[in-house]
Amino acid sequence: MKRSTSFVLPLATAVWFVCGCSGLIGDPYPEADNTPGVGGPHPQGPGGPGGPQGKNPPLDPGCPADSFQAPLQMLNEFELTNTLDDLLPGISAEVVIPRGARGEDYRGALLIDQLPSRWQDTAWEIAGKAVQNVQGLTGCAPANQNDACARSFIESFGPRAYRRPLEASEVQALVGLYDAAKAEGFGAGVEMVLAAMLQHPSLLYRVEAGVADSVAGAPTMRRLSGYEVAQRLSYNFWGSMPDAALFAAAAAGELNTPEGIRAQAERLLLHGNSTKMFADFVGQWLYTDYLGSIPKDATRYPSYTPDIVPLLKQELQLFVQSLVQTGGDLNALFTADYGFLNPTLAKFYGVPFTGKDFTKTTLPPAAQRVGLLTFAGLLSTEGPIQGVSLSAASRTYPIGRGRFIRRRLTCEGVPPPIPMATMLPGVAEKIDSLNQRFGGADNTPPRLFFGEVTSSNSVCKTCHALLEPLGFVLERYGADGLSRKLDIDGVPVIETGTYAANGDENPDLVGEYASPAKLAQALAQSASVKSCLSDNWLQYSLGQTLAATDHSCFGRPNAAASATAVGSTSLKDIYLDVVTSDIYRIRKFD
Amino acid sequence: MKSWHVNRRTFLRGGGGVAIGLPLLNAMFPSRAAAQAAKPIRRFLLWSENNGMVMNAWRPSGGLTDFKLGKLHGSLEPYRKYLLILSGLHNKGSRDNTTNGGVHQGNAGIATGGTNSRGGIWSTEQGVLAPGTGITNPTFYSVDQRICQEPDYRGALAAKFPSYQFGVQVSDIPATSARLNYKYTLTPTFVKDTSDNNKLIPQYEGMHVESNPQQAFKDLFGAPPTGQPMSGGTGTAEEQAAAALRRSKKRGSVLDYVQESYAGIMRKLGTEDQRRLSEHRELIRKLEQQVAVIPPSIANSASCKPPSGAGLPSGRPCKEEEQGTNKGVKNINGCTGDLFEPIGKAQIDLLTMALSCDLIRVGTMQWSMAGNRVGFGHIGAGGATHHDLAHARDPKLEIIHTWYASMMAYMLGKLTSVVEPDGSTLLDKTGILWTNELSVGATHSQEDIPLMLIGGAAGALHPGRYLDFRGKDRSNSDLLLSILHAYGIMEQRFGDIRGEAKGWFQGALDLG
């Protein structure tokens, strides 16, 4: 049943197929595996080949059981599109999966009433297109397009589609579908099989059953099988299905240990295929997906043209990706004095530049580049919903900037605004009168607005003291994200600000900051920022909503890292510590 | 081998070569035809616009029956006898939610009467919902979704679409600012309640709103009825019908397999994950039950004229800032100039026909979302987004709201142009709740919101009246409960349980 393939593979994936593991084509489960795979009994379900190899040691009692809850995830549109590209290269179809929410607003998928009906249509459309070249799909020449070829296709394609070995009964059921339609021709039979596989829950969901009785002393906990770990890793690092090498690692049992997971995770993270994931993750983490949804006031910010927008977004992605892949640490993340420029972006920043493509470029002091917080792409974002804006069309938005730092970088709870109707008398009128004096909310100088509103009302001040005073630290950067000396009213910018106490959260950060650089240095040294990065990554990856108690579950396998000074923690280690921690490998099952 | 294999194969082999004749299809709907003769079909629609109102131009003058329409509503004069205008009701559930930010999220409360919070909606009544607690008797719905749970309000497509939400420029982000329609689901996401010790709270995401008329057409009118020739097919009509039947059977067999696969996977999973998959499986099961799109008894009636789908606009209208000089041209952000009205009218046309053909009996027409940045330059109200004009109390707001009223008049014209077999119009059989989550946009006031019920709803409503509840401390929850009662759904309470505690629900409003 091992064949070489006539599949057209995308270049990046092809690498894994051409190398020493070419025998795995369409057969990710080598016979060396001591558990019967395709065609054999499969008592543990997806546990199987990557299955039990001794029990996991008892869990840290400090890590609460609920931290191991991980809701079943349907593939979101990004993941499903990439998966189909990998499974059936060259077959194009519009994949529309409604957007749902994973933890802290990362994109998930939403099961709407229309979904099965629409997906049924898409599955048949894709299957119909794929069997137009049924020889390419199955690898069988016309003379050999028979029942045996169909079975062989099911046995090789099925495990890639379901991302695990198939049970014998599953193969049989698919052969039954082929039989039912083969009277219309070989292609019709294969089309039926393909349409069925594409609608299968194992393709559409990241199914995780875990391995029963695999964690010592914790009957409701299950270690994930190797294949289940493999798909977590591939979706988390590449936004797509596992490649042949990852399947092989699952089959060989390598993903049953933190060390094995770390090795594969590192390979995926450093691989070029992770670029798509970085773009997807950074766009959501830093809200840059919303860049350009509201154009800037062209009279005030003439250089902020629509063609700048995708470049600003890409700059942040390249910055984060290069730090992660080259061993950059938290200090670099928050204090780097460089960016990634191309000619257009260099002109926007006002930096001399001779290259053609994106190049790591040190910015001159005038640009005031101090790490992540000072990228124009971050600071100029304005989204269609309030919570994701750091600037407005014609002015800065210190509320949003303060909120961004607390929600996305230090992971604090920030209460949403209270209804105007319940504010103390006079406040709504005061806001109205400010609007009239300054010709609309967009023109109201931020500090004045904050002062007038909060001085009259202690209820407002409770929350707003957490937001604007922190956002004011970034007032040096205008709504276009560029450094400036004067604000929109021609008044010299004041770049001091305050990280006010928010209950007992992050006491290490509370205080006055004289400049963006001072704040950036403090963030780089903050343990909260480090764990907030883990939070964001885990929420993006697994879709959980994290509670404060979950932090005790991170990074335990790598105790050495926690001994390092916070600022010197490499971003790569933060990622890898997450995927090797118990919370990633073990799941509550009840 | 499991029994379903046998069934499927028997079905395929037995029926594969034999086309079921069309008359048999007609025979598949006898009970529906009988039911229609006995009882008029009643419909319910939600109509939503946002960013508040110009209240003094909205409010009618005069009394209960001698009222004079507000300045904005000249275009509705021909439909005066169909209007039930409601003044003085507060969007209370949303307004009183001091911990979870009702101010920009009023849409979530408007049709649910519930409190709401970031990223979803919840009611304190659902506070017991938590992973693994076992959920029984869920009561959490928006009014339209509660109505379409009842058999009387289920159209021909009810298995797939118990209701259909048409939108114009509605965000794909299921934020509470962008959703009115909620129904109980097995798969809420959970968020931390920062005001309560980070307790995890289930968040119910709003239902999908379709802003693309082409997709709405495909959903509702796209698939050919079972056994009917596909358009563009070749061969004789009989050959085409046979091919279509084979195709339909193949799809059915695959759905059998997929359903069985869901069941198989579910057996391996924990309770919570099982719930998620069972919800998906249930939708697949309904899909399989959906044998035909338009029941022939209705397809052959004079009032049902399914559209061809030709010429439907697609794409996204530009926001005010994007409009510039490129009206009618696709700009760099992928939007097209002044599409807001053409898309709205196309959606209204589809909605009207979906009701006429009895595909759905409950629906929504949603014009963008709370805080929207729609530009109205094309009707002389440009220069700033609707949102910014609302904040500035700009006089141009009257132009915008007059235009929205004219869109309502357009829909009412469509509904009255459809004469049903019993001689009444579609509007006589329909009740439309016209909402706006705010009264005064500039201050985000949720007091005294502008609400109107339009249509006869087959005798359930008694329109042609102006009911003024100002000073009576009544809320939209009172109205929603009263609508349910008018529609024969005798719930004891609806919306936030706090309403009951405060004695709001002392009696239904006089709607009928």
pLDDT digits (tens, 9 = 90+) for B37-84: 457 889 999 999 999 999 999 999 999 999 999 999 999 999 999 999
* B272:A183 CB<8 A: no
* Contact status of B273 with chain A (Cβ, < 8 Å): yes
Q: Partners of B464 in the beta sheet?
A: none
Burial B429-440 (b: 16+ CB within 10 A, else e): bbbbbbbbbbbb
Separation between Cα atoms, residue A311 and residue A392, nearest integer Å: 19
What 8-state DSSP symbol labels residue B78?
Answer: G
How many Cβ atoms are within 10 Å of A385's Cβ, its own excluded?
Answer: 19
pLDDT digits (tens, 9 = 90+) for A468-511: 899 999 999 999 999 999 887 778 888 899 999 988 888 899 99
Q: Which of B437, B470, B364 is nearest to B97 (CA)?
A: B437
Helix (H) or strand (E) segment spanning residue A525: none
DSSP string, B384-442: S-HHHHHHTT-TTHHHHHHHHHHHHHHHHHHHHH-B-TTS-BTGGGEEEEEEES-S-GG
Q: Partners of B454 in the beta sheet?
A: B83, B432
Q: Which of A94, A231, A385 to mutate to test the interface with B (most CBs of B within 10 A)?
A: A385
Separation between Cα atoms, residue B508 and residue A413, nearest integer Å: 40
ipTM of this predicted structure:
0.85
* B392:A99 CB<8 A: no
Q: Are B126 and B200 in contact (CB under 8 A)?
A: no
Task: State chain A's mean pLDDT as an integer.
Answer: 83
Instruction: Give A545 or A222, the one with higher predicted confidence.
Output: A222
The residue type of A397 is: Y
What 8-state DSSP symbol labels residue A23?
Answer: G
Tell me, rounded to whole angstroms, the distance of Cα B154 from its chain centroid. 13
**Is residue B219's pLDDT more than 80?**
yes
Angle, alpha carbons B162-B124-B132 (nearest 5°): 75
- Residues B407-413 have a mean pLDDT of 98
Separation between Cα atoms, residue A247 and residue A228, nearest integer Å: 10
Q: Which of B198, B258, B330, B360 to mutate to test the interface with A (most CBs of A within 10 A)?
A: B258
DSSP string, B152-195: GG--TTTTT-SSEEEEES--SS--GGG----B--S--EEEEETT
What residues of chain B lie within 8 A of the CB of A102, using their CB? 189
What residues of chain B lie within 8 A of the CB of A185, using their CB? none
What residues of chain A lie within 8 A of the CB of B132, using their CB? 590
| pLDDT category of residue A316 using cuts at 50, 70 and 90 | very high
Task: State chain B's mean pLDDT as an integer.
Answer: 75
What residues of chain B lie within 8 A of the CB of A437, using their CB? none
pLDDT digits (tens, 9 = 90+) for B232-282: 456 777 777 777 778 888 999 999 999 999 999 999 998 888 988 998 998
* Contact status of A421 with chain B (Cβ, < 8 Å): yes
Q: Are A332 and A574 in contact (CB under 8 A)?
A: no
Instruction: Give B196 or B480, the one with higher predicted confidence.
Output: B480
Separation between Cα atoms, residue B62 and residue A551, nearest integer Å: 63
Q: Are B453 and B483 in contact (CB under 8 A)?
A: yes
**Is residue B296's pLDDT more than 70?**
no
The residue type of B206 is: G
The two three-digit tokens of residue B338, written as one number: 């002044």
Q: What percent of chain A has pLDDT over 90?
A: 53
Burial of B1 per CB tally in 10 Å (0-12, 13-18, 19+): exposed
Output the pLDDT for position B133.
28
- Residues A204-228 have a mean pLDDT of 92
Provide the chain B residues 120-179 that lie in CB contact (below 8 A) with chain A.
120, 131-132, 160-162, 171-175, 177
A393 in helix, strand or coil?
coil
φ and ψ of A443, to 5 deg: -100, 0
* Contact status of B50 with chain A (Cβ, < 8 Å): no
* A196:B258 CB<8 A: yes
Q: Are B441 and B391 in contact (CB under 8 A)?
A: yes
Q: Are A221 and A587 in contact (CB under 8 A)?
A: yes
Longest dimension (CA), chain B: 75
Lowest mean pLDDT among A7-21, A73-87, A135-149: A7-21
Instruction: Give A428 or B454, the one with higher predicted confidence.
Output: B454
Distance from CA of A111 to the nearest CA of B (A): 7
pLDDT digits (tens, 9 = 90+) for A33-69: 333 344 333 333 333 444 445 677 777 777 777 778 8
Burial A141-164 (b: 16+ CB within 10 A, else e): eeeebeeebbbbbbbbbbbbbbbb
**Is residue A289's pLDDT more than 50?**
yes
Q: Which of B249, B254, B268, B286 to mutate to test the interface with A (most CBs of A within 10 A)?
A: B254
Burial A201-228 (b: 16+ CB within 10 A, else e): bbbbbbbbbbbbebbeebeebbbbbbbb
DSSP tally for chain B: helices H, then strands E: 17, 14
What residues of chain A lie within 8 A of the CB of B200, using their CB? 545, 547
Instruction: Give B250 or B120, the one with higher predicted confidence.
Output: B250
| pLDDT category of residue A422 using cuts at 50, 70 and 90 | very low
Output the pLDDT for position B339.
83
Long-range Cβ contacts of A348-355 (<8 Å, 24+ apart)? A348/A303, A348/A304, A348/A308, A348/A311, A348/A376, A348/A482, A349/A376, A349/A482, A350/A482
Separation between Cα atoms, residue B267 and residue B277, nearest integer Å: 10
Q: Are B205 and A100 in contact (CB under 8 A)?
A: yes
Q: How far is CA B165 from CA A113, A401, B283, B347, B441, in A?
A: 11, 35, 17, 10, 24
Please enumerate in sequence order all residues whose Cβ is within 8 A of that of A197, keeping only pairs 6 or more positions apart, or say none.
Answer: A157, A158, A161, A162, A174, A203
Provide the angle, in degrees to the nearest 10, between the axes of the packed helices B397-417 and B340-356.
30
Q: Are B262 and A201 in contact (CB under 8 A)?
A: yes
* Contact status of A201 with chain B (Cβ, < 8 Å): yes
Q: How many CB pairs under 8 A join A and B?
A: 223
* Contact status of B345 with chain A (Cβ, < 8 Å): no
Q: What is the pTM of this model?
A: 0.79
Q: Compare all CA atoms of chain A with the CA of B321 and give the residue at the minimum distance.
A: A295
Q: Are A511 and A469 in contact (CB under 8 A)?
A: no
pLDDT digits (tens, 9 = 90+) for A102-118: 877 788 888 888 899 88
**Is residue B121's pLDDT more than 70?**
no
| pLDDT category of residue A139 using cuts at 50, 70 and 90 | very high
Q: Are B211 and B167 in contact (CB under 8 A)?
A: yes
How many Cβ atoms are within 10 Å of B288's Cβ, its own excluded?
Answer: 17
Tokens 């239904």 correspond to what residue? B508
- Residues B160-165 have a mean pLDDT of 90
Q: Report the residue from B207, B253, B391 with minimal CB separation from A435.
A: B391
Please enumerate in sequence order all residues whose Cβ is within 8 A of that of A35, keeping only pairs 6 or more positions apart, or say none.
Answer: A42, A48, A49, A51
A337 in helix, strand or coil?
coil
* A71:B189 CB<8 A: yes
* B251:A124 CB<8 A: yes
Q: Report the residue from A180, A393, A548 with minimal CB separation from B253.
A: A180
Tokens 């294969």 correspond to what residue? A190
Angle, alpha carbons B191-B197-B203 (nearest 5°): 20
Q: How far is CA A130 from CA A170, B215, B253, in A?
A: 22, 24, 20
Output the pLDDT for position A503.
85
φ and ψ of B246, to 5 deg: -60, -45
Separation between Cα atoms, residue A560 and residue A477, nearest integer Å: 38
Q: Partners of A109 in the beta sheet?
A: A99
Output the pLDDT for position A406.
93
Separation between Cα atoms, residue B298 and residue B421, nearest integer Å: 10
Q: Which range, A307-316, A532-541, B301-310, has the best average confidence (pLDDT)?
A: A307-316
Separation between Cα atoms, residue A441 and residue A581, nearest integer Å: 47
B256 in helix, strand or coil?
helix
What 8-state DSSP symbol labels residue A19?
Answer: S
Q: Which of A184, A545, A551, A590 to mutate to test the interface with B (most CBs of B within 10 A)?
A: A545
What residues of chain A lie within 8 A of the CB of B173, using their CB? 99, 384-385
Q: Which of A97, A117, A395 to mutate to test the interface with B (most CBs of B within 10 A)?
A: A117
* Contact status of A413 with chain B (Cβ, < 8 Å): yes
Q: Which of B47, B51, B59, B46 is nearest to B381 (CA)?
A: B51
Separation between Cα atoms, residue A294 and residue B490, nearest integer Å: 46
What is the dihedral sign for C-alpha A189, A192, A197, A200? negative
Separation between Cα atoms, residue A545 and residue A539, nearest integer Å: 6
Distance from CA of B421 to the nearest CA of A (A): 30
Please enumerate in sequence order all residues whose Cβ is within 8 A of that of A538, keeping only pairs 6 or more positions apart, or say none.
Answer: A103, A544, A546, A554, A578, A583, A584
* B277:A393 CB<8 A: no
Q: Which of B342, B343, B366, B363 is nearest to B352 (CA)?
A: B363
Q: Report the residue from A100, A116, A201 with minimal CB separation from B283.
A: A116
Distance from CA of B104 to the nearest CA of A (A): 8
